[in-house]
Amino acid sequence: MTGTGDSMDAVGFDSTTGFLDRGGCLRTAVRLADASRKERQPLGALWLDLDRFKQVNESFGHLGGDAVIGRLAAQLRDEFSARAEICRMGGDEFVFLVPNCSRAQAEEVAGDVLRAVSQPIELGNIRLRPSGSIGVALFDPVEDPLSFLERADRAMIEAKRLGGGRYVISGDERVPGRLGVLLAREELAIESKIHLALESGGLTLHYQPIIHFDGSIEAVEALMRCNVAGESIPPSKIIPVAEKTGLIVRLGEWSMLNAAQHARHLSDLGLPTRVAVNVSRAQLTAPRFIEALYSAFYCADIAPELLELELTESLFMDISDTVQANLQAAKKAGVSLAIDDFGTGYSCLADLKNIPASKLKLDRAFIRVLPEDKRSLAVVRAIGQLARELGMIVVAEGVETVEQFELLADIGLDAVQGFHCARPMDGQALVAWLRNRR
């Protein structure tokens, strides 16, 4: 497949190995990229660089280095020329252009190349065990072939940074974000969107009511929505990046203040309602959490009782002294605490006595299988009983059917949250919803 044999002296080929040279590589990349666009077939590029090759050259001279390259080139030609266009970019760098190549296939080829490279080479009486670093890029039809190759090159540099002897797929590299944290490229894009959202109005809170069985409102849970340039980014993508970069503290403070302001707004309209806001472990362990909490209800000018903190399950991995102290201080401030998603993940029964919470929210995993799953029903009943004896209110999350609603009322839980009662809605819709219920 690649240029070998009689075409060795032709323009576009490397005279030592017979592979395509740098110019030939680019021309071939352009041709294959065009074909990839037209035929809608994937195209992969692998950029290989030998690890510590400079030391081989220094120890054995360039002749030694050339011997290694020559041996390796023969091996690569034997194994890969049927699958890929092979190019020598100069020195110890090679590029493999692999047509019709999915991500899985690219990973397979990368693994094979790394194995081939690491075959021992005898140099005089020395046995060398080379290794290589590979960057893999999959062609995106909207990009130009040069940036496609550059992505493979960058991914290779990342593979080297990680210690070599491995491959990295472009898009998975870790690069420094604005706060100096190493992030994968997708995470980096999300980080920049969070910054944008925080600085130009891309964040909003939606609210989902929590309702007693007699129809009265227990509280509304504030749920963050992030929309940047018309793209909605789900919390499942935002939260992990925000936690890594520390932006979770800013997002958390923003949520607390906005939830408090909405509580104030509802009070002003004669619809006083407690607003619950989610708080993660990262927030509770950050400096000045309590001061920020006070700042929120001072800014909004509300009584602390109108704010509730829902403690997410990540908190329960390790309840440190800082977390414990912050929870006690929040309680002392007059803010009520709820344990969210109880019963799955890291939460356990011991938390019920360790955390000064007055509300327990049963995870939807128990509820969605009701009424059929009798074992879940038994768990719900038992937790409900236990929580009541501890003086806690018990809320069932994810209630979607009338059967579930009636069953949970029969069991004697206190309140429910879920599509059966109300979907999350924006602040304005919540006002209308609350008014309609009066």
> Is residue 9 a contact partner of residue 76, using CB atoms and an 8 Å limit?
no
Alpha carbons 144 and 37: distance in angstroms, whole number = 11
- Tokens 């003086």, residue located: 391
The neighbour count for residue 158, using CB atoms within 10 Å, is 23
Q: Is 220 in the site for other proteins (CB under 8 A)?
A: no
Among 100, 105, 227, 285, the residue binding other proteins under the rule CB under 8 A is 227
Pick from 2, 261, 280, 283 the residue near other proteins by CB under 8 A: 261
Using CB under 8 A, which of 151, 154, 185, 195 touches other proteins? 195
Q: Is 428 exposed, middle or buried (0-12, 13-18, 19+ CB in 10 A)?
A: exposed
- Residue among 290 and 337 whose Cβ is closer to other proteins: 290
Q: Which helix (H) or strand (E) holds 158?
A: helix 145-161
Does residue 286 bind other proteins (CB under 8 A)? no
Q: Which of 60, 213, 294, 346 binds other proteins (CB under 8 A)?
A: 294
Contact 227, 197 (CB under 8 A): yes
Q: Which stretch binds other proteins (CB under 8 A): 36-44, 105-113, 257-265, 358-366?
A: 257-265
Per CB under 8 A, the segment of 103-111, 155-163, 214-222, 285-293 that binds other proteins is 285-293
Q: CA-to-CA distance for 86 and 29, rounded, in angstroms?
A: 11
Q: Work out whether 198 is an interface residue with other proteins (CB under 8 A).
A: yes
Distance CA 351, CA 118 (A): 52
Q: Name which of 333 and 379 has its Cβ closer to other proteins.
A: 333
Which of 130, 112, 115, 107 lies closest to 50 in space, CA to CA? 130
Q: How far apart are alpha carbons 219 and 221 in whole angstroms?
A: 7
Residue 361 in the binding site for other proteins (CB under 8 A):
no
Print the SS3 string covering 49-113: EECCHHHHHHHHHHHHHHHHHHHHHHHHHHHHCCCCEEEEEECCEEEEEEECCCHHHHHHHHHHH
Q: Using CB under 8 A, pick the residue from 84, 95, 114, 296 that binds other proteins.
A: 296
C-alpha 395/C-alpha 393 separation (Å) is 7
Nearer to other proteins (CB atom), residue 257 or residue 306 = 257
Residue 202 contacts other proteins per CB under 8 A? yes
Q: How far is the CB of 76 from other proteins (least distance, A)?
A: 46
Q: How far is the CB of 217 from other proteins (least distance, A)?
A: 21
Report DSSP state, residue 215: S
154 binds other proteins (CB under 8 A): no
Q: Give the number of C-alpha atoms closer than 13 A to the C-alpha of residue 391, restricted to the C-beta side.
A: 6
Among 137, 220, 257, 387, binds other proteins (CB under 8 A): 257
Q: Any contact of residue 270 with other proteins (CB under 8 A)?
A: no
Among 265, 331, 381, 420, binds other proteins (CB under 8 A): 265
Q: Which of 229, 232, 236, 353 lies at the binding interface for other proteins (CB under 8 A)? A: 229
256 or 413: whose CB is closer to other proteins? 256
Contact between 273 and other proteins by CB under 8 A: the answer reads no
Binding site for other proteins (CB under 8 A): 195-196, 198-202, 227-230, 250, 253-254, 257-258, 261, 264-265, 288, 290-292, 294-296, 298-301, 333
